[in-house]
Structure 1
């Protein structure tokens, strides 16, 4: 997951005209039992960006965008009907309880979102951020969960939104924050929920299992996450890039020498590894593939002179307290509660082959893990169209993904879930 990119996914959006900012309240709109739509905060573009709409079938876009099926005018949300007319939608009543809680001396902002009318006790899910810097409160995931009838606790990651502290990607600190969030959610929803756990997307897949162990959660669900170290993620991205370009096994082995060198530099926090990096750059200087590598960070390190890396490499490339050798497998192995892992079948940012192998091995050890893969989806569970130059244009979040998450958390099973495949 890119360290410097806000949001869960970035693709080419060339040619799309952005709408003027809307003025409707964030929330869930429509009639229960029918097609509901979530209005949430912008995922990119700053304060001037338009709000986003998200249907539970995965269709998303900008409110008031060109030919958008969702409009907001004078505070009224309208949805296009099959006959082309726009019909005003009522806001679904939800019980929202703002709160503040503390983790490691830092005050964090959160909100508990519950169905206004209870039919039994719904499960409680704490939403764990990915690498994005956008606030968790007002985002689409918590509101989608609420639209599915779950009780949800969302909070702004430290250093974002209304929370204090400095932004970080230190998984251990973020897991402590998430555990504190679940503790606060349990207090606020006492007596009104059945079981409580976490959902983590992308980088949240490194955080949620550790938080679950700390907070004694009842379950963990992860979307498009990884069971590997951040260093392995970079290596797997480079391998996938080269395979897509048609390079053979011999070239892949050489590329792994390069990622070993860049990884050693990162893992040392730029205190060692310069000689190793210089050696592989000399060794493969005449290889065409060396100058096309991107990865998570390898391409950036290869492109810079050693003098610049020695002088400013750490503050520019290693400034988020990332644990480069974080043992994700150990965090999962420590859990005995049910886990759901949902992978994108063609994920370029978080290639899933190694993750699938390790989850299969953990299942073989007896860990209660359910694994689903949605084919022809990229990071974020986005379906896409691949352009002739290899770039991708996203179309929607794949159908069935949101329903799978909600059903699994509810301990239900209403197959099929779109194109999702359950891996035995």
Structure 2
């Protein structure tokens, strides 16, 4: 992804999540739903993302385009938190990131049970009902991305697959529309035939769409 973005004229700093790959620190988890997405870990990862932004800025020439954050899945919670911590972040690009709280997402994910044909046998109404009423398997304070997003005024694009069984896309896009109605510069693009994976390995279309959005935004900023 980083190499592809670079070929499109977009400078990138990418790194392994703490405790993974070549990054130091301790990886939280690995069990989904434990301390992997509790508020302490998400805030820690948001601070990492903020510091990565500062590091990239330190390596760029004096004249450069706007700095943004791009991420997948869990980034739906991390990037908004990081953007509230670092005012140098001017835009967000989030692939398959939920706009529901961490506990709501877990209820949905446990309901779908990784069944790739889930949406062939279940309805949006059934999924929402389950998310409202299912007891939580883990006890920690939920992180709701709408809290951070309601405080931000930078543009953001969310990219979703219509057959996602990890992030509840119907609710997420509904919440985005509510934020847009409040005047927030957020938008989304839905690819109906894709699932949670909206990266290169699934289809080049979402990534190409994201690059076009970034270049359009950067061009507008340059004109100003």
Range into which the TM-score falls when normalised by the shorter chain: 0.7 to 0.9
Partner of 1:296: none
Kept in 2: contact 1:337–1:368 (CA 8 A): yes
Structure 1 residue 366 and structure 2 residue 171: aligned?
Answer: no
Give the number of aligned pairs.
202
Partner of 2:209: 404
Alpha-carbon shift at residue 244 of structure 1 (Å): 4.0
Alpha-carbon shift at residue 161 of structure 1 (Å): 2.1
Structure with larger Rg: 1
- Give 4+ residue runs of structure 1 displaced > 3 Å after superposition: 237-257
Q: Deviations over 1:313-354 (max 9, x none)?
A: xxxxxxxxxxx5102111111110111111111111212011
Describe how 1:136-151 pairs up with structure 2 within 5 A.
141-151=1-11
Higher strand fraction: Structure 1 or Structure 2?
A: 1
Structure 1 residue 346 and structure 2 residue 163: aligned?
Answer: yes
Q: Deviations over 1:3-55 (max 9, x none)?
A: xxxxxxxxxxxxxxxxxxxxxxxxxxxxxxxxxxxxxxxxxxxxxxxxxxxxx
Structure 1 residue 203 and structure 2 residue 63: aligned?
Answer: no
Kept in 2: contact 1:342–1:372 (CA 8 A): yes
Kept in 1: contact 2:162–2:192 (CA 8 A): yes
Q: Deviations over 1:208-243 (max 9, x none)?
A: 111112111111111111001121112234555776
Kept in 2: contact 1:339–1:368 (CA 8 A): yes
Gaps of 5+ in 2: 29-35, 219-224
Alpha-carbon shift at residue 382 of structure 1 (Å): 6.4
Partner of 1:245: 121
Alpha-carbon shift at residue 252 of structure 1 (Å): 8.0
Cα–Cα, structure 1 residues 237 and 214, in superposed 2: closer, same or farther, change >3 Å?
Answer: same
Structure 1 residue 334 and structure 2 residue 194: aligned?
Answer: no
Structure 1 residue 194 and structure 2 residue 11: aligned?
Answer: no
| Between 229-238 and 365-374, the greater mean CA deviation after superposition | 229-238
Higher-RCO chain (CA-CA 8 Å, sequence separation at least 6):
2
Kept in 1: contact 2:199–2:207 (CA 8 A): no
SS state at 2:13 partner: strand
Cα–Cα, structure 1 residues 246 and 410, in superposed 2: closer, same or farther, change >3 Å?
Answer: closer
Gaps of 5+ in 1: 1-140, 269-323, 384-395, 414-424
Q: 1:267 aligns with which of 139, 144, 150?
A: 139
Structure 1 residue 380 and structure 2 residue 185: aligned?
Answer: no
Structure 1 residue 228 and structure 2 residue 107: aligned?
Answer: no
Kept in 2: contact 1:239–1:252 (CA 8 A): no
- Structure 2 length normalisation: TM-score? 0.79
